Amino acid sequence: MRGTTVLPGTPCAAPRDGEPPVHRLELRLPEQVPFAAGGFDAMGPMSRADYPHRHTFYEIVHVVEGSGVHVIDTGRYAVRPPQLGVILPGQVHHWEGVRGLEGSLVLFTPEFLVDGADDLDLLRRLGERPWADLDEAAHARTSRLMEELAEEYRSGDDGFAGVLRSLLHVLLVRAVRVPGGRVVAPPRGLAEEFLRLAPAAGVAGVPVRECAERLGVTPGHLTEVVRQATGRTPAALLREARVREAQRLLVATSLSVRQVAARVGFEDPAYFCRFFRREVGRSPGGFRKHHDHPVPSLEGGAGGS
């Protein structure tokens, strides 16, 4: 997609066999600002991609016109504007059967955030509720912010990166305030470090003990701190990350259950099936069948960045 983490014209990151393509954001030169903002047309055809793919960046989308379905991981969200959505790095998403889709997008990488810990926590919370209906007042506020972000990005005037970071922070805070969300104090210190580590560690099957070693604390201390900060144990958060990635692969790829098991760190497919059933309440095959919706082929037509 137009806008930040690679030079213009660089192809998408090559996915592992059978997995969705990975889109990266192009760099805006010469400033190399890891950010882009504008309407669907300004962002290019990839902004309406109808095949499953992942991002290495965050995407916030404000939909003002159109119909269809937005698919994020295993969730299917009807397009009924005005709405606000967020796609986190690593999530699999695509647009399905959309007509007249219009609106604006903000794309950025984690390092662009004005207040790393707080903003990352806001994004994590938004990711738990990735598609929200906007009332008239929230829609008007969001429209103004998205317009300001796009205008500032286009202008490139002196100090524009700082203005973009500040406006983005306001957008995140207000997005969490949309009915159904709330602003709370983010985890700090050790709990914050663990939450950064957990997604990749969970997918790789790294145990709590090893995570504690990486962070220089005992497993017991890590468990106590993370539970106090999040209300959940490190083990539960690691399992959640592992299950979420397995669900993505089952729904968005044609990989066999054995291959999915291997992708999420299980040498024994039978053990993976028992683990998955225990966590999800369905077998991997049953889960895939339940979420079986025709999607465009991952072969061909999936280029771009």
Write the burial class of residue 3 (CB in 10 Å: 0-12 exposed, 13-18 middle, 19+ buried): buried
Looking at the domain 189-290, which fold is it? Arc Repressor Mutant, subunit A (1.10.10)
3-state secondary structure at position 109: coil
Structure-token pair, residue 20: 């969705």
The ranges of the chain annotated as CATH 1.10.10.60 are 189-290
The residue-averaged pLDDT of 69-76 equals 90
**CA-CA distance, 297 to 305, in Å (whole number)?**
18
**Sequence-separated (6 or more) residues with CB below 8 Å from residue 94:** 49, 50, 51, 52, 53, 71, 295, 296
Annotate 154-174 with b (16+ C-beta within 10 A) or e (fewer): eeeeeebbebbbebbbebbeb
Query: pTM for the full model?
Result: 0.73
Label residue 95 by pLDDT band (50, 70, 90). Answer: very high
Domain at 22-177: CATH architecture: Sandwich (2.60)
pLDDT tens readout for residues 216-229 = 999 999 999 998 88
pLDDT of residue 4: 36
Give the best-scoring range by mean pLDDT among 29-43, 180-194, 201-215, 289-303: 201-215
Say yes or no to pLDDT of 73 above 80.
yes
pLDDT tens readout for residues 171-189 = 999 999 887 544 445 566 8
The ranges of the chain annotated as CATH 2.60.120.280 are 22-177
pLDDT tens readout for residues 248-305 = 899 888 889 999 999 999 999 999 999 999 999 999 999 998 876 544 433 333 333 3
